[in-house]
Amino acid sequence: MISTHVPATADPWPELSIVIPVHDEADAIASLVDEVVEALRRRTTFEVIVVDDASTDGTAAVLASLKARVPELRVLRHSRNAGQSMAIRSGVLAARSEWIATLDGDGQNDPADIPRMLDQRDALPAFVRLVAGVRTRRRDGVAKRWASKIANGVRGWLLDDLTPDSGCGLKLFTRSVFIELPYFDHMHRFLPALVRRTGAEVMHVPVNHRPRVAGRSKYGTLDRLWVGISDLRGVMWLQKRYRGTRVTES
């Protein structure tokens, strides 16, 4: 069940909801939440929804401590590990804002990029419903960078999603377009293709990427490869079967 509790000191209808999925990120999540607060408190009203995907380290205790001093923070916890896509979905369903920003919980995305993305969003045509970050200087190992480059090339060729970096966790999108999308495990890696499938458009903006300073990656290169092949086939099928169109009222 999704939490609907509103902290007494938080804005019940914030202009922006930040959704951060985490799993065993006890050493990274406190500094990341602090950076989000620093970047946004003077810019807009917001809430931070951290979705703890059944962590087993000390993440729950760190988040409990954070709630005592960050009134914008809401914490959701999965009863079992369900994966990053489900954690994002849980956060979006619980969000109170129409606009959602997502960040990876490992701290490699830079919250300081969010205000700039909001400024760019404000100048966009109404049919743009996703602003996707593109990591201009990857701070990952060589093998991971090459695997990502190959995957992006194959995905772009097969899905025509016009996206140079679908793996970047920093994205800004509308809640309404997200909840229209079909849910499946790993769907977060295909958001640009899925959003374009609805008839909405996607804008790409360069963003910062930082080295991981704590914890470890939850995915291996081969894991991403084999799962990605299966997911690609599924998304191609979804694209072919969709018959949507933009609707305007005169």
Question: What average pLDDT does the segment 41-63 reach?
Answer: 96
Greater pLDDT, 184 or 102:
102
Residue 6 lies in a domain: no
Residue 145 lies in a domain: yes
* Predicted pLDDT of residue 175: 97
* Predicted pLDDT of residue 127: 87
pLDDT band at residue 216, thresholds of 50, 70 and 90?
A: low
Residue 9 lies in a domain: no
* Predicted pLDDT of residue 9: 52
The dihedral built from the CA positions of residue 162, 167, 172 and 176, taken in this order, carries a sign that is positive
Query: Does pLDDT of 162 surpass 90?
Result: no
CATH number at residue 78: 3.90.550.10
Query: Does pLDDT of 15 surpass 90?
Result: yes
Residue 247 lies in a domain: no
Identity of the residue numbered 131: V
CA 167 to the chain's CA centroid: 10
CA 132 to the chain's CA centroid: 9
Query: Three-state SS for 179?
Result: helix
Measured distance CA(234)–CA(107) in Å, rounded: 30
The percent of residues in the chain predicted with pLDDT above 90, rounded, is 56
Residue 24 buriedness (CB in 10 A; 0-12 / 13-18 / 19+): buried
pLDDT band at residue 21, thresholds of 50, 70 and 90?
A: very high
Mean pLDDT of the residues in the chain: 84
Residue 3 lies in a domain: no
pLDDT band at residue 37, thresholds of 50, 70 and 90?
A: very high
Query: Does pLDDT of 214 surpass 80?
Result: no
* Predicted pLDDT of residue 134: 92
Highest-pLDDT range among 15-24, 122-131, 154-163:
15-24
Q: How many domains does the chain have?
A: 1
Q: 95 near 47, Cβ under 8 Å?
A: yes
Query: Does pLDDT of 205 surpass 60?
Result: yes
CA dihedral 152, 156, 161, 165 (to 10 degrees): 20
Q: What is the DSSP letter of 109?
A: B
pLDDT band at residue 227, thresholds of 50, 70 and 90?
A: low
Measured distance CA(143)–CA(197) in Å, rounded: 31
Residue 246 lies in a domain: no
As a whole number of Å, the CA-based R_g of the chain is 17
Question: What average pLDDT does the segment 31-53 reach?
Answer: 97
208 Cβ contact list (under 8 Å, min separation 6): 109, 110, 112, 113, 135, 136, 137
Residue 71 lies in a domain: yes
Query: Does pLDDT of 230 surpass 90?
Result: no
Q: What is the pTM of this model?
A: 0.82
* Predicted pLDDT of residue 213: 73
pLDDT in tens, 68-110: 999 999 999 999 999 999 999 999 999 999 999 999 999 999 9
Residue 83 lies in a domain: yes
Domain containing residue 113: 16-241
